[in-house]
Structure 1
Amino acid sequence: MRKVSHTPLSVDDYRARITALVARTPVVATPLADCVGLVLAEDLVSPVPLPPFDNSAMDGYAVRAADVAAAGEDGAVALPVAADIPAGRTDVVPLEAGTAHRIMTGAPIPPGADAVVKVEDTDGGQERVVVRASVAPGTHVRRLGEDVAAGATVLGAGTVLGPPQLGLASAVGRADLPVHRRVRVLVLATGTELVEPGKPLLHGQIYESNSALLAAAVREIGGEPTVLRFVPDDVAVFRETVAAHAAGADLLVTSGGVSAGAYEVVKDALAGQGVEFLRVAMQPGGPQGCGRFDGLPVVTLPGNPVSTALSFELFLRPALLAAMGHRRVERPRATARTTVELRSPAGKRQYRRGRHSGGSVTPVGGPGSHLLASFAASDCLIAVPEDVTVVPAGEQVELVVLR
């Protein structure tokens, strides 16, 4: 017997239910190269200072500032070049008074030197250098620990790891980091009318698009999708397919087969098996379902492509981001004035596709759940509240900003 709820849930209540269903992913030590977009699970404390030694900020000459104090517009100072210090040299000898060491950017400052004269203020000599400008002590010297002190927390738990953060982790000597593992999502689209893109269509068939859409959406936020395509509308085969791929998955997401008609294979396979089918007070995307099948969290989405895309945006995207440790899981919100009148069914939160600019928003396409081209051309969703049936042109509306 199908377990179906007849009282619609609010959008907010259903979002909370989905978020609670998807558990936080485990923390795993992951090589830096694989950490892009993931969330740091523990504070990163630097075992070393940055820079780890006094070093030169310029190509030039390490000197004692007092030895070149007379250099300037009225004259120059000549000093013998006693040593060369390329970056990476470890056996640096002390600088004696009255001499200079030719030094490269990043190379260690020799003991006894307190400044660097940049090469542009010299004649570039290799055995004897003519210095044409004086420098104050500390000029062009990067001090030990100037950026990071040893023992300092350089990245806090909860940090989303991008290129600068991973560069910093590498700079303090880390080869891997403890991060929340990428969420693993099984994506399954149903429907005997679906055909693989690239093959010829017969009358009554359509190309399957939802699995491509959902897999891309999961991948975009840092998850790992596994697509199970073209599973027949057969309850036994459906259950066998899910069971064969469930090991290691964090969530199963289906599209299609959840409405009130006949041949609804997802409902037939999962109802009474721990998954509840219900309606959410929204348009489009009302028919939904969630629960557990043999312990595997399951979210069942309606099959029309806009309903699928919208449901991912509203329910799955924030839940999956939260599961991977993200703190900011919602799309940005904004307000704008609609350029045309909007009509919405009573008791449902309607989401229209739109484009916004300069404080105004214009709907793209109609409210239909099959209008995927309008979704692709939109940069926002226009949210019309449940208790509003008409929004006059020129009134403020709330936007969910997609791009």
Structure 2
Amino acid sequence: MVLMTGASAAFDFAAARETSWSEARALAHRAPLPPAARTVPLAAAGGLTLAEDLRTHHPLPAFDTAAMDGYAVAGPGPWRVRGVVRAGAAWGGRLLPGEGVEISTGALVPAGACAVLPVELAAGGEGWVSGPAPSPGKHLRRTGEDAPAGTCLAPAGTRVGPALLGLAAACGHDALRVRPRPRVGVLVTGDELDRGGRPGPGRVRDALGPLLPSLVAALGGEAAGVRHVPDRPAGLLARAVREARDSDVIVVTGSTSVGATDQLRQLLHDAGARMVVDTVACRPGHPQLLAELADGGWVVGLPGNPYAALVAAHTLLAPLIAGLSGRGLAPLPQVPVSGGVRPVPGLTRLVPVAWEGSGARIIGGHRSAFLHGAAVGDALAVIADDWTDGSPAPLVLLAG
């Protein structure tokens, strides 16, 4: 990032174009291109994003297998017991009508078997077993009935979670093609912040330094550290941004408004950055921004108030990380939302909610600087200016 140090034209704050909340989210997602894919072993793939479809190398199941402990039988009973088959072993030969083998769940079913008689329904001894005749195919899992070989089981863009890791292993994969996590550096600005203990007179405790690395990780990014940057003397933020250029994304908290100590917009203007989103028509979190640096990389500006910053992070940072990771923009579920909140003409409100039956209930504690509602809630309800109490609203599920 090339930062100008001489005189430059002042940034025209009045020319900033306010973006709707839904448009800002979409712009942040489609702005970046994901980096090149890499191949990593399964043990290193958790939390990353598939760069290509996950396909099974072999049928699932790979062979006819017993779904219950009991007897694999052929034809009507009673059946002469020819042997025992346990999981991981095989029984050589073919069953003829009136024959069976004792079998364990997951074991290879011998050729000729038509069903499995569960052990709890079986009776007999001295090499014979009897019981109610199972219908053909009962308690058998046939080769490929879950997925034939070559089936796409997860498309590119799917985040790799524990179940997908297990599925990949079951499909015969030892490694996956994935997109790396975006590296996200955090710059927390403000002269008024204390980083430990109870804040002193006229000061506040920094909440965003602890909050943002955890949020970045939950969103699929890699937190590259937190640096605290004083507002004065001027120029410290520009230097901090330069020093954070090993990150794919630089998050700056505070310094996004138009006050005397707010430097970020002027800094980006001087550096020739491309403004993708400059202010969002939402409450809280209005003074947020997303910019692309002239020589690559992204800057996300968040308000300094903690709840407003959280809302802005879910508006711009979450979709940006998804776009950089090659994931789709997460759809927002809609459920009926009830509670005492007033829509604001021309603005989108984001308020914390908790699940209540088949819907969600608005909970208190969501002033711009207060995180209580978000800390105990399940989601943020997206309240449009035409919302009425009890009507459906989209939900942003809270990460973490």
Q: TM-score range by the shorter chain?
A: 0.7 to 0.9
Provide the C-alpha distance between the structure 1 equivalents of 2:46 and 2:314, rounded to a whole number of angstroms: 22
Partner of 1:92: 92
TM-score, length basis structure 2: 0.80
Alpha carbons 2:337, 2:362 under 8 Å: kept: no
Partner of 1:256: 254
In structure 2, relative to structure 1, the CA distance for the partners of 1:25 and 1:335 (3 Å cut) is: farther
**For 1:3-402, what aligned pairs fall within 5 Å after superposition?**
3-7=11-15, 8-12=17-21, 14-36=24-46, 38-66=48-76, 68=77, 71=78, 79=80, 81-90=81-90, 92-95=92-95, 99-123=99-123, 125=125, 128-197=127-196, 199-233=197-231, 234=233, 237-247=236-246, 249-267=247-265, 269-275=267-273, 278-293=278-293, 294-334=295-335, 336=337, 339=340, 342=342, 344=344, 348-351=346-349, 353=351, 355=353, 364-365=364-365, 368-377=367-376, 379-381=379-381, 383-385=383-385, 398=393, 400-402=395-397
Quote how far apart the aligned CAs of 1:161 are.
Answer: 4.1
Provide the C-alpha distance between the structure 1 equivalents of 2:134 and 2:395, rounded to a whole number of angstroms: 56
Quote how far apart the aligned CAs of 1:134 are.
Answer: 2.9
* Equivalent position amino acid for 1:261 in 2: G
* Equivalent position amino acid for 1:142 in 2: R
Quote how far apart the aligned CAs of 1:207 are.
Answer: 1.2
* Equivalent position amino acid for 1:211 in 2: G
**Could you report, residue by residue, the CA deviation over 1:346-387 in whole angstroms, capped at 9, with x for unpaired residues?**
6x5152525475778657357x522333444554345353xx
Provide the C-alpha distance between the structure 1 equivalents of 2:248 and 2:42, rounded to a whole number of angstroms: 23
* Equivalent position amino acid for 2:208 in 1: N
Partner secondary structure for residue 130 of structure 1: strand
Alpha carbons 2:50, 2:177 under 8 Å: kept: yes
Quote how far apart the aligned CAs of 1:27 are.
Answer: 2.3
Give the structure with higher Rg (CA): 1
Q: Tell me, which stretches of 5 or more residues in structure 1 are unaligned?
A: 72-76
Partner secondary structure for residue 33 of structure 2: coil
Partner secondary structure for residue 173 of structure 1: coil
Partner of 1:74: none
Alpha carbons 1:65, 1:136 under 8 Å: kept: no
Alpha carbons 1:38, 1:181 under 8 Å: kept: yes
* Equivalent position amino acid for 2:120 in 1: E
In structure 2, relative to structure 1, the CA distance for the partners of 1:147 and 1:295 (3 Å cut) is: closer
Give the number of aligned pairs. 381
In structure 2, relative to structure 1, the CA distance for the partners of 1:54 and 1:311 (3 Å cut) is: same
In structure 2, relative to structure 1, the CA distance for the partners of 1:155 and 1:380 (3 Å cut) is: closer
**Could you report, residue by residue, the CA deviation over 1:43-84 in whole angstroms, capped at 9, with x for unpaired residues?**
233221122122222222233224x1xx4xxxxx6x3x4322
Quote how far apart the aligned CAs of 1:305 are.
Answer: 1.5
* Equivalent position amino acid for 2:253 in 1: S
Partner secondary structure for residue 143 of structure 2: coil
* Equivalent position amino acid for 1:5 in 2: F
Quote how far apart the aligned CAs of 1:89 are.
Answer: 1.0
Quote how far apart the aligned CAs of 1:104 are.
Answer: 1.3
Provide the C-alpha distance between the structure 2 equivalents of 1:219 and 1:101, rounded to a whole number of angstroms: 52
Alpha carbons 1:42, 1:157 under 8 Å: kept: yes
Partner secondary structure for residue 13 of structure 2: coil
In structure 2, relative to structure 1, the CA distance for the partners of 1:102 and 1:230 (3 Å cut) is: same
**Superposition RMSD in Å:** 3.5
Provide the C-alpha distance between the structure 1 equivalents of 2:200 and 2:45, rounded to a whole number of angstroms: 45
Quote how far apart the aligned CAs of 1:173 are.
Answer: 0.4
**Mean Cα displacement is larger for which, 14-23 or 293-302?**
14-23
**Could you report, residue by residue, the CA deviation over 1:274-328 in whole angstroms, capped at 9, with x for unpaired residues?**
3459544443333234324453211212211122111112222223223323334
In structure 2, relative to structure 1, the CA distance for the partners of 1:132 and 1:310 (3 Å cut) is: closer
